[in-house]
Chains A and B, each alone.
Chain A
Amino acid sequence: MRPKRKNPILRTRLPTLPPHARSRVALGLTAAAALGRLELQRCRNCGAIQYPPRETCHVCLSDRLVWEPQDGAGELVSETVVHISQELFFRERAPWRLGLVRLDCGPSVIAHLHNGCAAPPARLRVLNCLDRAGQAVLVAVPEKETPNMAEDRQLREMSCDPRNRKILVTDGKTAVGQAIVDRLAAAGAEIIWVGYAEPWKKFPGFERIKTIPQVTLMPLDVTESVSVRELAGEIGVKVDILINTAEHHRTFGIAARAGTEVARAEMDVNYLGLLRLAQEFGPVMRSRAADGRNNAVAWVNLLSIFALANYPPHGTFSASKAAAHSLAQCLRAEMLPSGIRVINLYPGPIDDEWNQLILPPKLAPAALAAAVVKALQDGVEDVYPGDIAQDWLARWRDNPKALERELAQS
């Protein structure tokens, strides 16, 4: 159900964070949580699976440890409710339910306990989530999906579910922008502001999204600082989630197009557009990061798998997305103290006019939109939607130099 409106007499709280210190090895768990996966260390020597993460195996002291995906199935052994905490974050959120869970794969773990979990002994599922500090924490949820499971107070502290949120989609003229608007409306967004530039250019589908009840169209051109500032002044104080879909995509390398006009336009939208949005919307969103249940929670960037390794036929586009990828890391660092999550999407080629000459499989705009909403619901940080993105990611992780050569010869 819709959260109550805030009492404007009371001071808007400042954001606090859960404890965020982690050892370098423990950040392996965070890396998995960023992708929405539960991974635990397995010893290649004796096969033991361990938690919490350590430098060596807790059984045989071998340092031959690998991170492996786990399904998280387990049993709740006991539970407790924290009423008093020295941590400001939990002090403000008490009471807080915790449980001791014995995982089927071996280790016993302390996990945040979803309110839908039955009293012990009970079967449940442990998720590896990012908390507001951007660090991995374990959350135990009911074994089977229950109605309104995402509405759990504790789980909502980890996720950025679009339900009942006020959301800005920066460009509604593209197929991707429109698919995301549709998906957000279906996911229960309360208000969807949809930006559009150059009003004299009509685009297919644009008339249709006007008719979605939650949608309000807003003039916004991310290449124009004044336009971004004016929109931030108008609605910035209400935006809970910002989804930057503005993108300029042309299909040239260096040799195929003389001059810098195309590359500059790509940088102006894909890189400087993000910078302009972040400068104008970032501060006001950070100020509302703890604004009750109607708070600012997430920022979503539409990047590209080409940001990781240059795809030479779309060389200058790739470079602009690499720049945006780097800037998104800066934005994430600056948002981290407030707890606002920065979600980066790295899709492979999207099925649109600029990828006309790329062979399938291509990512349908609707599939990308589904990935955006799922990322918000799951509270992950990095999303590589589609087969091509997953394939590139695997090859890039395995050997970035090899991928560079493969792309050079493709």
Chain B
Amino acid sequence: MSTDTLARLVADLAGGRIRIVDLTQTLAPDMPAITLPPELGQAWPFRREEISRYDERGASWYWNNFSCGEHTGTHFDAPIHWISGRDLPNNATDTLPMEHVIGPACVIDCSRESAADADFLLTVPFIEDWEKRHGKIPPRSWVLMRTDWSKRTDPEAYQNYDETGQHTPGPDPAAVRFLIHDRDVLGFGSESIGTDAGQAQHLLPPFPCHYYMHGSGRYGLQCLANLDLLPPQGAVLVCPPLKIQQGSGSPLRVLALVPMP
């Protein structure tokens, strides 16, 4: 039975009946990194230094050293990332169950609202309205908030800072609680630089998506791209982070399997 399922999967992939959509931003030095107040510890941005390029440092080969923080580019947040999830079992990138990194994807389109208001907050009524149109969010799903933020290729527009900080969309505290307790989601994904809104330090609790999701063993994905190519329901998300010992997260390649009509 399961052999048949997998055989059908590869046949459907080969036949174009299932399409693979890459939800990953390219890791590049100019990809905006998380910015914190300067007195706090800082994540390294992505950097690349050549080891050799068919030259006197290595005549026949080209390769680089790269450096970055665990939360750089399109990346995964493990529960241990937040203080609320620090004591949970299997809460780091090397110990979390692999069954959690493949699952159904529900894509909630907030692109119109985010274009009108960079501080847009996803609410419970908004989710319920989405469910009326596209069906209830199944248990153990990944919920992805589509904002089209990844289409902002200008780093300034992507970060969207003013003198009061960053302005990017995210979920409000009640919506996060609803997704965890009433829908039992695996995790929450966003297109901007955090799973929380840019102004989420002013919500109660601050950074509710990090606080509640990680506190109940759920995950985060951020800096996703191409969410506009996914159906509201029906795609399958594949997002295994790097197996970093006691890692709080990692850059990763995120794929979606999308059934073609």
**Which residues from chain B sit less than 8 Å from chain A, CB to CB?**
29-30, 32, 35, 39, 41-42, 45, 47-50, 155-156, 158-163
User: Does the CB pair B29–A227 fall under 8 Å?
Assistant: yes
**Which residues from chain A sit less than 8 Å from chain B, CB to CB?**
198-202, 221, 223-227, 250, 259, 261-262, 265
User: Does the CB pair B29–A200 fall under 8 Å?
Assistant: no
User: Does the CB pair A199–B155 fall under 8 Å?
Assistant: yes
User: Does the CB pair A225–B50 fall under 8 Å?
Assistant: yes
Majority DSSP secondary structure for residues of A touching B: loop
Instruction: Report chain B residues within 8 Å CB of A224.
Output: 29, 45, 47
A225 to B49 Cα, complex, angstroms? 7
Chain A residue nearest to B39 (CB atoms) is A250
A-B contacts, 24 of them at CB < 8 A, read A198-B35, A200-B32, A200-B35, A200-B156, A200-B158, A200-B159, A200-B161, A201-B161, A202-B161, A202-B163, A223-B45, A223-B47, A224-B29, A224-B45, A225-B47, A225-B48, A225-B49, A225-B50, A226-B48, A259-B41, A261-B41, A261-B42, A262-B41, A265-B42
Chain B residue nearest to A276 (CB atoms) is B49
A219 to chain B, nearest CB (A): 8
Instruction: Report chain A residues within 8 Å CB of B39.
Output: 250
> 15 new A-B pairs (CB below 8 Å) besides A202-B162, A225-B48?
A198-B35, A199-B156, A200-B35, A200-B156, A200-B158, A200-B161, A201-B161, A223-B45, A224-B45, A225-B49, A225-B50, A226-B29, A227-B29, A227-B30, A250-B39
Instruction: Report chain A residues within 8 Å CB of B42.
Output: 261, 265
- Quick one: which of A198, A202, A225, A265 has the most chain B CB within 10 A? A198
A227 to B45 Cα, complex, angstroms? 13
B40 to chain A, nearest CB (A): 10
Instruction: Report chain A residues within 8 Å CB of B161.
Output: 200-202
A401 to chain B, nearest CB (A): 34
Instruction: Report chain B residues within 8 Å CB of A199.
Output: 155-156
A201 to B159 Cα, complex, angstroms? 9
A259 to B30 Cα, complex, angstroms? 26
Instruction: Report chain B residues within 8 Å CB of A198.
Output: 35
Instruction: Report chain A residues within 8 Å CB of B155.
Output: 199-200
A227 to B41 Cα, complex, angstroms? 24
B87 to chain A, nearest CB (A): 21
